[in-house]
Structure 1
Amino acid sequence: MSLQINNLTKKFGEQTALNNITISIEKNEIIGLLGPNGAGKSTLMKSIVGTLKIDEGEIIFNGKNIIDHEIESKKKIGFLPENNPLYLEMFVKEYLQFVANIHKISDSRVDEVIELVGITPEKSKKIGQLSKGYKQRIGLAQAIIHQPDLLILDEPTNGLDPNQILEIRNVVKEIGKEKTVLLSTHIMQEVEALCTRVILIHKGNILQDCNIEEFKGKFDSLEEAFAHYTQNIEVKIKAEN
């Protein structure tokens, strides 16, 4: 599996959300996509999965342009968006069987994924009855049910308690041994626990793309490094203006 993003630009009116982004990703990496709110992280993720139209540039997935091979590409990508849209009136297992039918995979995989994300006790309940933490798990289950080559997770542990966070991290870590994971998060402990590489994006530009140790560098923590890189660019922008 490989993902090559070449000179990707996306604008919303006069605002540039992504500015000539170029990224190369190989198989079996768990990559932390970092950046302040409004940096362009979600826009980048939605562009990769094809829910946003690309203005300029190209995205090559498994050697094929995702625009020219849209359906084929989407079959190999799993996506958990930040707002985690679910059918709240459906039962948990019913919903996951519905997703499995879309991907034309067996019901046995449904039971496997239910166990993997830890929702076995809840599988006969309506989704709308469940806590936010369990809804996140269902969102993760639908993203991995078809065993995608590339898994894209936008704030996957949002709203989970500490035990649930650890459980979801373990699931993501296991998936990352065989697949590629692109993970957006504001939780630096999550990045340190899971990721081997960091891509830091700010105002549509890539500030850093390197391994964890290089990103951390001389700083005592990832939080300090994050603050340094993002605040420095703000100072630079103000100076130029």
Structure 2
Amino acid sequence: MAYTYEYPHPAVTTDIVIFTVEDGALKVLLIKRGMEPFKGKWALPGGFIKMDESLEECALRELSEEAGIEGIYLEQLYSFGSVDRDPRERVISVAYYALIPAGSVELKAGTDADDAAWFKVDELPKLSFDHSEIIKVARERLAAKMDYSTVGLKLMPQEFTLSYLQDVYEKATDKPRDKRNFRKWIFSLNVIEATGKKYASGPHRPAMLYRVIAPEKVENIR
């Protein structure tokens, strides 16, 4: 298929921000670039869109190829188009983001990525391109969404305690929550139920384990 244009056109990429809460901290997935520009530097998974795929198909493909992650739900975040954001050429990036439970995927670097790893969002290495800005926007969107929605349940494992759930919300939003009010709010949504099992940790009284019972009520990220 031939394309002829009177004026130059920018290239289009997708970049993907994947958040999890692990070891008491909000973390983001990064890959180590295996090619120039910024070879050996850390960046978000992503790449150029092919002529025969949609934006979301591109994001899912790049996530699979560069980090070994498949089958997750992505939401479009924002478009980034600063003129000098990519040293190769004029590039516009459409960013996506998602939430996954800690330990739910096995990272496996491939194609043009030399490594893939989780980093605390407050302790990021120097990043390639404008990926620090993309992560900042994604974190702000996540914090705002978690203040009024059930999206935080996407970070939950199959079973969890209420204390763990509250801790995840606090780490993701960087804001403390009143224990009584938080539990009153989460129970009012009718999206979790007790499993009948308990979790014992140290000398404390065993805590009840819960699970999500209405996934269709758990809001998507947008």
Structure whose residues are more often helix by fraction: 1
Higher relative contact order (CA 8 A, sep 6+): 1
TM (norm. structure 2) is: 0.32
Rg larger in 1 or in 2? 2
TM (norm. structure 1) is: 0.30
